[in-house]
Copies of this chain bind each other. A is one copy, B any other.
Amino acid sequence: MNGNTFSLDRSSASASASGRPQSAYAVDRALVALIQRSLGAEPVRVQLWDGSTTYDLRYEPAAIVTIGDRSTLLKVAWNPEYWFAEGVTQGSIVITGDLLVVLSAAYRNRSRVTLLHDCVDRLRALTESHSLSGSRVNIHRHYDIGNDFYQLWLDRDLVYTCAYFADADMTLEEAQRQKMDHVCRKLRLQPGERVIEAGCGWGAMANYMAAHYGVSVRAFNISHEQVALARERAAELGLSAQVEFVEDDYRNITGSCDAFVSIGMLEHVGREHFQDLGAVIQRTLNPVSGRGLLHFIGRTYPRPLTPWIRKRIFPGAYAPTLAEVATGVLEPWDLAIIDVENLRLHYAETLAHWLRRFETAGDHVRAMFDDEFVRAWRLYLAGSETAFLTGSLHLFQVTFAAAQNDQVPWTRAHLYQ
């Protein structure tokens, strides 16, 4: 997605906030100089509503960030991470040129500016609720905004998690199917086995496992819209007898299984409930031959997602470290990690595909929602791509089994045959 450009009319930024042009004073120019300096030596020109900038004009910028009014300028100076994103969303900050260059500059220079707000935000993140009702509200706000919307820019199977580009030139549809197959191989699914899936999205994985590996699946999800479509798709595929979609919370999972899989749900569980998820695995998974896989967005050290993402996009979400998952979910039940794969670059590529499709569908999205929604989701998708590219976010696939399970594979060669 380098070379991705957004050619909004620059004059709209200065008009958007107050309706009349403001003069830039010395204090305004001092603040914009501070913001420019906080980005380091990146080809990003930061300017005020009247064009004032301290960017070195000998170098052509790859992008121009125009701060549209004094109120926005003050907010960005105070809390750059949050108010930059919010300003772009609200339209009081306008970016022309390559959005990803701006976001990369922000990610790479993040530590210079956000220490105070990080501390405050870590405390705030602790108060977020992942109770049964809290989780339902969180999930509803993201996943129930309309299946039509997601169909505009996801692959045709509606897989809303990291794809697996076994070859670099795969299409998104191929890479999502490769991901599902990669997970099935890691789990070594056998015909007739029973699988429980916690957090099943629109059912693509459940239906894939049933269709291609002959297993029966009970798949759980608290998004009403997703479950409805998942059932439709299973029926279309003639899989309704093999796949049961249950509209319920992972904490209410019952039954037993040979394999337990959860793709892209752990980010919504909340650290304080990792032991609950572990307990569900423990009580449902075959203790002798059972195995499981957790696929989640993770970190290299513990910290919350950005406040803007948690406000605008994913309320209550948290990307854990591998150690947090190991100690919270697996250790209490003597479950052994048998394989971990980090697919960070695959998620950056997946997001690049989504962003291109999202831009192509821009007019449709605008008609469904509004300009602010388009700006917010563009920023979310581009920002996530940048976060994976710069190593701020990672994608872990963790395969596990009971510590004494001797049916674990001898090597991983079977994944690549």
Contacts and interface: CB of A to CB of B under 8 A. Distances in A.
A330 interface: yes
A345 B334 CA distance: 17
Interface in A364-417: 389-392, 394, 396, 402-406, 408, 410-413, 415-417
Contacts of A324: 323
Q: Is chain A's interface secondary structure helix, strand, loop, or mixed overall?
A: mixed
A338 B394 CA distance: 9
Contact of A412 (B165, B341, B389): B341
A415 B336 CA distance: 23
Interface string A333-358: 01111111110111000000000000
B416 A404 contact: no
A389 B410 contact: no
A160 B411 CA distance: 21
B339 A331 contact: no
A413 B321 contact: no
Contact of A326 (B323, B330, B334): B323
A323 B335 CA distance: 13
A410 to B, nearest CB: 6
Contacts of A392: 403
Given A330-B300, A331-B323, A391 B410 contact: no
A46 B165 CA distance: 58
A6 interface: no
Contacts of A389: 406
A415 B408 CA distance: 19
Closest 10 CB pairs of A and B: A391-B404, A391-B403, A340-B340, A323-B323, A323-B326, A301-B331, A338-B342, A416-B416, A413-B416, A300-B403
Interface residues of A, number: 47
Nearest to A398: B340
> Which of A300, A327, A344, A410 has most chain B Cβ within 10 Å?
A300
A103 to B, nearest CB: 14
A411 B300 contact: no
Nearest to A337: B322
A108 B334 CA distance: 13
Contact of A336 (B302, B326, B342, B410): B342
A361 interface: no
A57 B155 CA distance: 66
